[in-house]
Structure 1
Amino acid sequence: MSTSSTSSIALIGSTGLVGSHILSTFLTSPSTASQIQTISRRAPSNPTNSTRLSPTVNADTSTWPTLLSSLVPLPTTVISSLGTTRGAAGGIANQWKIDHDLNVDLAKAAKQAGVKNFVFVSSAGTRSLLSSKVPYSQMKRGVEDTIQSLEFEHGIILRPGLILGERDKAHFPGQGLLVSAVRGLGKWVSQSWLQDSWAQEADVIARAAVKAVRMAEEGKAPAKWWVLEQDEIVKLGRDEWKE
């Protein structure tokens, strides 16, 4: 599978758990975009020292929408895996500014600049019966709704469950123990029955995002508005991944 040699990807959240895997997947895959541009607070890792990586580092997140709209070349697709936690942000109000407000501003800036496709790593359960009472779900729903309303050529939403992977800091108390328990049980019980239904590895989520981008840029996406729930993430990012 190949992409246009003129395509360019912009990745926001490239230093986070899923975002770093998205970046490394693009950089190490034999068929990918001609350039991968990132905007982040600190420099992302470049596992292959690829000249196709063009990072922009700026600690002031309020400048990111403007930086995104002024990227040269203009990316054909923007991917946001941007997110933080209540603890890291210093409260729910500050988390809202990153998880919701900044992602919304980035989507609007991308649309105004002429970006064709926007991909957002959201979360499972954003449309459940109780989601309207959960601030985290409200943030994700707000971003999803904004992306859909902007009518990109393709709006792609990934909704993973519990994200498995090695983090510098746990997102919640006991996360490390929970992840270990899920992986441990997966060795004894069918992984597709236990783990895949509510938890996915970060590299699997990343590969699903990369494959979805390729499909969109090749005109093979199943719909203009494409939501990948956990089963489709596993399908694209693990079961059908050939590289």
Structure 2
Amino acid sequence: MNFFRKGLGILCTIITTMNSVHALNPSQPQPEKINIGIYAPFSSDSAYIGRNMLGAMEIARAQMPSAKVRYTFYTLDSATSSKSAAEVLQKFVMAHKINILMSEGDQNAVLVANVAKKNKLLHFCLGCAPQAVDGNSFSTQTSSLPRGTVLNEERHAQFISQYNQEYMSHPVAEGAYAYDLFRVINHSVLSVLKKPSEYQIKNVSEHLLSCKTLPSGLMGPVQFHNKVSLTHIG
């Protein structure tokens, strides 16, 4: 019985000490969680497009770690011929609590833009004309490069080397543009988080719209054109 009482006393002392330490050292603020949904080919002959977009953003995320924000990527295979594509995309957004959508190609631009607007999400469309742009959707122009253009060894040697090392394949232009886009998104998110106001995706959109120029990326300098079109120049 004495042994039990002594053990109980020691346990109470440990718990009291732990509570005191916790009170003196409150937990650090939790990072802001941002879920990015990638709506692109992942199973057809064009699956390399989706894989490039995902892989490039994973590389960019690893290069820009931050205690203030945590990015998670989710993928959905684009189904342009499906009548239920909008419903499937909506379920995808709800299931993963998506904050930002990224799509590829003209064929998906309007579909994804409508879902983004309905759910008040940011949407970036790679390689599509500015046909459905607003405060939520941004058309990302990819100059005149054909779809799936292999990156130039001389101009993008470092990125190509890293991509090869990570995924044992050669990256295409869509991967480089996705890499640049993630850097733009991260730049705006961190800028918004510096302000005392509560973080909201709409604040990121407002920051993007207020930026005339952004840091140069793999595909050259980046700027906003007509306020809602993100363009690589140079």
TM-score normalised by length of structure 1: 0.39
Judging by fraction of residues, say which structure has more strand.
2
TM-score normalised by length of structure 2: 0.40
**Higher Cα radius of gyration:** 2
